[in-house]
Amino acid sequence: MSTDAQTTVDPAEVAKFEAMAAEWWDPTGKFKPLHMMNPVRLDYITNQIAAEFGRDLVEVEPLKGLRLLDIGCGGGLLSEPMARLGAEVVGADAAAGNIPVAQVHAEQMGLDIDYRHTTAEALADAGEQFDVVLNMEVVEHVADPLAYLTACQRLLKPGGLMVASTINRNPKSFMVAIVGAEHVMRWLPKGTHEWSKFITPEELADLIVKAGLTEVDRKGMVFNPLRWSWSISDRDLSVNYAMTSVKSTN
């Protein structure tokens, strides 16, 4: 773990997820919402990567030859499918307790994933470079979103792609992501999220530009309580959403 004073890690946020580390791979545990959302997240991510790099997703290993960073990897819910699709995957997390959980599960699955207890800033300072950076449900937990996204930009090769997802900030997201998920459904421990740290799509788009990237796509991820399922939406970004951006080749 880097001791770089420039880190954007928020120790209190790291502690929340470290306390839940052992439950990452329990689909009925504290990370049930992520397990439920994961197929939709993967669909969005893989389609964005395929479009940017001209890959055919029906191939056996369509992401072969791409180096990918899953920042805030947790237990590896995204790192593992990316590795199965052929990418060379580095999974990084500021919570030390997540790494052994991810390593053991990857070994059990027969996957070769480079998991590290480190930060985006430390990786950037070390000169690491990636074709793809997955930045999923992290930016609302860091101390300085712009500094964090700038570190992610530094980690991208020219022409590289970043997929970021987070939660919008409005009355609906408060009711759904905090009251609903934490208090009513009890999918997450109370206090997992802070509504004041949620980021609107307009704010994230502005931060992405300031970090030196260009937005190319944004979509909502919508939960339907009647069908008990998630879907991608072109219009509804009111709660969960994802945004894709690219780094200039210049």
Q: Is 72 annotated as a binding residue?
A: yes
Structure tokens given for 113:
């994933």
Q: Which residues pair with 223 in a beta bridge?
A: 230
Exposure string over 113-137, b if 16+ CB within 10 A, otherwise e: bebbbbbbbbbbeeebebbbbbbbb
Q: What is the rounded distance in angstroms from the CA atom of residue 165 to the CA atom of residue 136?
A: 5
Sign of the CA dihedral 14, 16, 22, 23? negative
CB 30 within 8 A of CB 188: yes
93 is in an annotated binding site: yes
* Residue 227 annotated as lining a ligand binding site: no
Burial environment of residue 28 by CB neighbours within 10 A (0 to 12, 13 to 18, 19 or more):
exposed
| Gap between the Cα atoms of 12 and 19, Å rounded | 11
Directed axis angle between helix 201-210 and helix 145-155, to 10°?
A: 50
180 marked as part of a ligand binding site: no
Binding-site positions read 41, 72, 93, 136
Residues of the binding site for S-adenosyl-L-methionine: 41, 72, 93, 136
